[in-house]
Chains A and B, each alone.
Chain A
């Protein structure tokens, strides 16, 4: 765990740069995190990020792609366009929620 400053705010992050405190997140931070990984947030991105935030709060874990598609209403195909190559990792990074379980 380390503390860093993102968009003028002090936040705690893990060794991969994922935020560890749900409550420290805000929309400015999200935009800054997105810029870090070369994504400019549009309306469709926000829909996904807001779903991730709400679903994590309710379920206590980060939804997998299948759930974002079935429940959040954004298809897997679109998720790959919005967050290229590694949508599960990228969208949780921006939304300030843990990386989905690496199911072993």
Chain B
């Protein structure tokens, strides 16, 4: 009996189990998923929670509901991967041997990496919205807040869903306007990037959108510490920014067992071949989803496209054949821009987000890098698709590799 062990039953791990179970003979292959908590959160929904659009119960479902028959879900905290023994040790002492290992334990906001961030003011005047606890605490704060200066600030790239902080500040603008208090709120967007976004064309569009909304942008800002008592950010080059509410995106890091096992980079993400996700160190270990150190977005869409490519490759690989499919870094993200509108971006390792129509060239229904109502509805409907189509590994009507069809090249 061969053993495939998948660490993490989140977006990537669950899709892998669903895609591979029907294609690996149950008499020959045992598939085990390991996770330490029973609840699957719809992470794209966390963005809306601070504004009261969703509540916790709208975003959570039991992980087990999405695990197919014939796959064992083992609950436990991972202590160590021991590649020389081909086994994973759990904190409770359980040893799980494997023939092939897939690391899909994601990446996590890690506030204790930044001096002063998770001190006394954590969840009083400083919040994150990438965790259910942070998003809920922020919702409670915003409910009664009477105005002042709200700063959205990214500490270090890469972060998961890198457009979410922009979406947050667009939604905040619309939220305060709707409450009739936009004039008593100052909004500032603080980023270590040279502009609103990394790539030039998207940075120009998104930068204009910040301008239109009277949101100030502070770029190339690398935070050294937070002085929580003083409500102040201090950068490495001594620029100080004060705030009344700080919405921070803490440093994103992989799980600690990855570091203990010597499998990660400085951020505990696993270096892999960016074309096929095979570990650069071990030929029977793969990393997929946010856990992998790939030069593309950390996002569910990337995990989805990556798993599509991975599945066919893995079936060849275990038979000793070469992996023929090559991942291109395809990412596809809706950007909620407030007032019932949204944008869409579609890009890969080599092609930056460009304007145009998607997925049908010239037709859409979605518009790239343009604010439309259709994009907003696409984003809302995606929640249904996530739970009912995507996680269970059924086909989505979007190709895994990026296409240039429908995109318009543009000079900045």
- A70 CA / B193 CA spacing, docked (Å): 21
* B299 closest partner in A (C-beta): A104
| Binary B-proximity of A79-104 (CB < 8 A = 1, otherwise 0) | 11000111000000000000001111
Interface residue tally on A, bucketed by range: 10 to 19
Give the secondary structure class of B's interface.
loop
Contact B266 A67 (CB under 8 A): yes
- A67 CA / B293 CA spacing, docked (Å): 14
| Binary A-proximity of B186-225 (CB < 8 A = 1, otherwise 0) | 0000000110011100000000000000000000101010
Contact residue among B194, B198, B224, B236 (Cβ-Cβ distance under 8 Å from A103) = B198
List A contacts of B199 (CB < 8 A): 102, 104
* Surface stretch bound by A, among B11-19, B140-148, B155-163: B155-163
A71-B158 in contact given A80-B237, A104-B199 (Cβ < 8 Å): no
Query: Is A20 interfacial (CB-CB < 8 Å)?
Result: no
List A contacts of B26 (CB < 8 A): none
List B contacts of A76 (CB < 8 A): 222, 224, 236
Query: Is A50 interfacial (CB-CB < 8 Å)?
Result: no
Contact A77 B157 (CB under 8 A): no
A104-B331 in contact given A65-B222, A66-B266 (Cβ < 8 Å): yes
Contact A80 B236 (CB under 8 A): yes
Within 8 A of A (CB), among B160-179: 162
Q: How many residues of B contact A (CB 8 A)?
A: 22
A83 to chain B, nearest CB (A): 10
B409 to chain A, nearest CB (A): 15
Query: Is B131 interfacial (CB-CB < 8 Å)?
Result: no
* B235 closest partner in A (C-beta): A80
- A54 CA / B237 CA spacing, docked (Å): 27
List A contacts of B157 (CB < 8 A): 103
Query: Is A41 interfacial (CB-CB < 8 Å)?
Result: no
Query: Is A64 interfacial (CB-CB < 8 Å)?
Result: yes
A85-B237 in contact given A64-B266, A66-B267, A104-B331 (Cβ < 8 Å): yes
- A85 CA / B235 CA spacing, docked (Å): 10
A8 to chain B, nearest CB (A): 32
A86-B266 in contact given A101-B295, A104-B162 (Cβ < 8 Å): no
* A79 closest partner in B (C-beta): B236
* A65 closest partner in B (C-beta): B222
Contact residue among A64, A71, A77, A104 (Cβ-Cβ distance under 8 Å from B236) = A77
Within 8 A of B (CB), among A48-70: 64-67, 70
- A13 CA / B230 CA spacing, docked (Å): 46
Contact B197 A104 (CB under 8 A): yes
List A contacts of B162 (CB < 8 A): 103-104
List A contacts of B266 (CB < 8 A): 64, 66-67, 70-71
List B contacts of A70 (CB < 8 A): 266
* B156 closest partner in A (C-beta): A66
A86-B331 in contact given A66-B156, A67-B265, A77-B224 (Cβ < 8 Å): no
B273 to chain A, nearest CB (A): 11
| Binary A-proximity of B81-124 (CB < 8 A = 1, otherwise 0) | 00000000000000000000000000000000000000000000
A37 to chain B, nearest CB (A): 14
Contact B194 A86 (CB under 8 A): yes
List A contacts of B158 (CB < 8 A): 103
A34 to chain B, nearest CB (A): 19
Contact residue among B156, B198, B220 (Cβ-Cβ distance under 8 Å from A85) = B220
Residue among A70, A85, A86, A101 with most chain B CB within 10 A: A101
List A contacts of B295 (CB < 8 A): 101, 103
Given contacts A104-B198, A104-B296, 5 further A-B contacts (CB under 8 A): A67-B266, A76-B222, A76-B236, A79-B236, A102-B198
18 A-B contact pairs sorted by A residue (CB < 8 Å):
A64-B266, A66-B156, A66-B266, A67-B265, A70-B266, A80-B236, A101-B295, A102-B198, A102-B199, A103-B158, A103-B162, A103-B198, A103-B295, A104-B162, A104-B197, A104-B198, A104-B297, A104-B331
* A residues adjacent to B (C-beta < 8 A): 64-67, 70-71, 76-77, 79-80, 84-86, 101-104
